[in-house]
Amino acid sequence: MLNKVLVANRGEIAVRIIRTCREMGIKTVAIYSEPDRFSMHARMADEAYCIGGTTAAESYLNIEAMLDVLTRSGADAVHPGYGFFSENTDFSRAVKERGAIFVGPPPEAIETMGDKISSRIAAKAAGVDGVPGTMEAITAPEEVAVFGNEHGWPVAIKAAYGGGGRGMKVVDNSESVTEALESAKREALAYFGRDEVYMEKYLSWPRHIEMQIIVDNHGNAVWLGERDCSCQRRHQKLVEETPAPNFPQDIRNAMGEAAIRVALACGYRNAGTVEFLYQDGEFYFLEMNTRLQVEHPITELVTGVDLVALQLKVAAGEPLGFSQDDVRINGHAIEVRINAEDPARGLFLPSPGSISKLIPPGGPGVRLDSGYESGDTVSQHYDNLIAKLVVWAGDREQARNRMLRALGETYIEGVKTTIPADVLILSHPDFAAAKHSTRWVESSLNFDQLDMQEPPADTKSPDDTQGSMQLQETDITAEVQGRRYRLRMWLPISDLPAAGQSPKRSANSKSGSKKRSSDQANRSMGQASGSITAPMQGTIIKVLVEVGQEVDAGQTICVLEAMKMENMIESPTSGTVKSINVSSGDYIAAGDELAVIV
């Protein structure tokens, strides 16, 4: 079995992996960036090393810093979690070159499945049909028009090196093919560094079902049930559940066997997820994710397996220890993601900041996989997932009610969260009746009723006590030559900083010199002055007008890449462009003035 595992990640998934390692007697090594110095995963690991930097690129995507910690710590395996390096073959190869084990599939399997066209070819070779579409990159708009006229509209154009729906364009007719193809290629290049795109017939009302699989090095390949991930907004999963409601057992068995065939066709090892679309009694291969998924806990709850433990066993060369006949699906599990975002008016604007208080839910069948505790800070530099709330119960309706009860118990103060949106979804009659599908959230749910969450009352936590001016035993964290140590000291209470608190920013601190507006409205419709401001932080990827140009109301001024989508920033009025304050490539903050129309 493994001796020491470097957890090459942060947040809730790092905590998740550390917990299972502890249960298995495996030492853990955490890495942390400058903003994460006081983070939960760094606190929990047996060893913690600062890899420096602030942004993801400077820290958790800094391959040299990560490999340096691997060498310094003497870890014999690296668990990548999800995101970051979890599907990066350069990283997995570099880990192996240093004599350590990468807890995941072989690089060849990652490469096969990372290219969505080659993944479709591999699935087809295994006898598993994808959504009707092409097996090579699109080279001309005419190809899309011919395909749409032959197979029917709409047509989905997707990034060959993408995934998760990012950059996907849905084309309704041949007239809009050229612009859609250009936009899809532009986004594919911007998001994934490659502009190859392919197409599929767009299924109008499918369910998004994914199958968990795991393969060891002894010929054992098992599917562990499906997860219904249809409840998504802008390709961000909001709610996942298992078993999929109204899902026939014969389809489940056929999909599980198909998932295994796809995995074996690419020489897969360890845990993975095969995604399908299910519509009108048929299922179609979509893509394969060669990593542990965010939503893996619901599979753990209905099967009783610890997927991280299985991953570590398989990585250590041990057999699974069970076969397909041993797998039992019991009860129903639901997961919701609790993000530091404000869902008011359906904007889901990021809401980074310090969590002044976090009180987790409890009781029967409730699990909170959190990456943060009271006093921790949600940084704007990383994914803003605070925690996953997961419940198990005997059947779907009990699980749905348990989730609503657990959401009601979950208290998070200091940042706005998606909890109100989660409650809206779980309490909606369509969800209760399992009538939802992939388009349901964006076509049928109305988030407008969600008020802007009031800033938390400046309440003291119930356990605040006014201690006397005496010495207080205190655990503090010290960092010596880049390595983190815990020390126990006795200090006068008045000298103690609040746990995890970073120095408060000055009230009038401004980032950048750009003019800010008071209104952070989503639509970029500017103020009466004709000033057009950014509705959210992001990157300008295209400026479409020039100073002095006449524009119409609603004309796109520039394109802002934010929240994994291209946002068209439009002129609120007709007039003349007086000034343009941004150019392509600028990173701007919410409220920055982009242009002025007079």
Stretch that binds ligand MV4, among 66-74, 110-118, 215-223, 230-238 (CB under 6 A): 230-238
Q: How far is the CB of 56 from ligand MV4 (least distance, A)?
A: 22
Query: CB-wise, 203 or 445, nearer to ligand MV4?
Result: 203
483 near ligand MV4 (CB under 6 A): no
167 near ligand MV4 (CB under 6 A): no
Burial of 529 (0-12, 13-18, 19+ CB in 10 A): exposed
- The torsion defined by the Cα of 221, 224, 226 and 231, in degrees rounded to 10, comes to -120
Binder among 87, 187, 196, 200 for ligand MV4 (CB under 6 A): 200
Q: How far is the CB of 133 from ligand MV4 (least distance, A)?
A: 7
Query: CB-wise, 277 or 412, nearer to ligand MV4?
Result: 277
Site residue total, ligand MV4 (CB under 6 A): 19
Burial of 147 (0-12, 13-18, 19+ CB in 10 A): buried
Give the span between the Cα atoms of 319 and 592, in whole angstroms. 56
Q: Among 309, 306, 299, 214, which Cα is nearest to 264's?
A: 214
Give the span between the Cα atoms of 299 and 241, in whole angstroms. 9
Q: What is the DSSP string of 62-74?
A: -HHHHHHHHHHHT
Stretch that binds ligand MV4, among 102-110, 194-202, 334-342, 348-356 (CB under 6 A): 194-202
**φ/ψ of residue 399, rounded to 5:** -65, -40
141 near ligand MV4 (CB under 6 A): no
Give the span between the Cα atoms of 81 and 307, in whole angstroms. 12
Q: How far is the CB of 199 from ligand MV4 (least distance, A)?
A: 8
Query: CB-wise, 91 or 202, nearer to ligand MV4?
Result: 202
CB atoms inside a 10 Å sphere around CB 248:
10
Contact 546, 588 (CB under 8 A): no
Binder among 277, 334, 366, 543 for ligand MV4 (CB under 6 A): 277
CB atoms inside a 10 Å sphere around CB 258:
22
| Residue of this chain nearest to ligand MV4 (CB atom) | 165
156 near ligand MV4 (CB under 6 A): yes
Binder among 12, 216, 275, 335 for ligand MV4 (CB under 6 A): 275
197 near ligand MV4 (CB under 6 A): no
Contact 449, 346 (CB under 8 A): no
Q: How far is the CB of 445 from ligand MV4 (least distance, A)?
A: 12
Q: How far is the CB of 41 from ligand MV4 (least distance, A)?
A: 28
Binder among 52, 141, 164, 352 for ligand MV4 (CB under 6 A): 164
Give the span between the Cα atoms of 294 and 479, in whole angstroms. 31
Strand pairing category for 4-7 and 27-32: parallel
109 near ligand MV4 (CB under 6 A): no
Binder among 112, 236, 438, 537 for ligand MV4 (CB under 6 A): 438
Q: Which residue has the tokens 């699980």?
A: 399
Contact 241, 332 (CB under 8 A): yes
Which amino acid belongs to residue 35? P
426 near ligand MV4 (CB under 6 A): no
Q: Which residue has the tokens 């917990």?
A: 19
Query: CB-wise, 66 or 199, nearer to ligand MV4?
Result: 199
Q: How far is the CB of 319 from ligand MV4 (least distance, A)?
A: 32
Query: CB-wise, 59 or 230, nearer to ligand MV4?
Result: 230
In the region spanning residues 286 to 305, those forming contacts with ligand MV4, defined by CB under 6 A, are: 286-287
Binder among 22, 93, 194, 235 for ligand MV4 (CB under 6 A): 235
**φ/ψ of residue 425, rounded to 5:** -70, -50
226 near ligand MV4 (CB under 6 A): no
Stretch that binds ligand MV4, among 114-122, 196-204, 409-417, 427-435 (CB under 6 A): 196-204
Give the chain's length: 598
Give the span between the Cα atoms of 21 and 40, in whole angstroms. 16
Local structure of 89: helix, strand or coil? helix
450 near ligand MV4 (CB under 6 A): no
Contact 485, 477 (CB under 8 A): yes
244 near ligand MV4 (CB under 6 A): no
Query: CB-wise, 52 or 164, nearer to ligand MV4?
Result: 164
Give the span between the Cα atoms of 91 and 96, in whole angstroms. 9
Angle, CA of 84, 86 and 88, to the nearest 5°: 85
Q: How far is CA 516 from the centre of its chain?
A: 29
Give the span between the Cα atoms of 7 and 95, in whole angstroms. 12
530 near ligand MV4 (CB under 6 A): no
Query: CB-wise, 170 or 404, nearer to ligand MV4?
Result: 170
Contact 490, 568 (CB under 8 A): no
CB atoms inside a 10 Å sphere around CB 487:
9
203 near ligand MV4 (CB under 6 A): yes
Q: Among 557, 572, 558, 559, which Cα is nearest to 525's?
A: 572
Give the span between the Cα atoms of 16 and 370, in whole angstroms. 8
- The torsion defined by the Cα of 440, 446, 450 and 451, in degrees rounded to 10, comes to 150
456 near ligand MV4 (CB under 6 A): no
Q: Among 9, 12, 17, which Cα is nearest to 312's?
A: 17
Which residue(s) pair with 242 in the sheet? 333
360 near ligand MV4 (CB under 6 A): no
Query: CB-wise, 165 or 350, nearer to ligand MV4?
Result: 165
Query: CB-wise, 41 or 116, nearer to ligand MV4?
Result: 116
Q: How far is the CB of 197 from ligand MV4 (least distance, A)?
A: 13
202 near ligand MV4 (CB under 6 A): yes
Binder among 28, 89, 232, 242 for ligand MV4 (CB under 6 A): 232
575 near ligand MV4 (CB under 6 A): no
Q: How far is the CB of 154 from ligand MV4 (least distance, A)?
A: 8
131 near ligand MV4 (CB under 6 A): yes
Binder among 81, 206, 256, 530 for ligand MV4 (CB under 6 A): 206
Query: CB-wise, 63 or 565, nearer to ligand MV4?
Result: 565
Query: CB-wise, 50 or 288, nearer to ligand MV4?
Result: 288
Which positions touch ligand MV4 (CB under 6 A)?
131, 156, 164-165, 200-203, 206, 208, 230, 232, 235, 275, 277, 286-287, 438-439
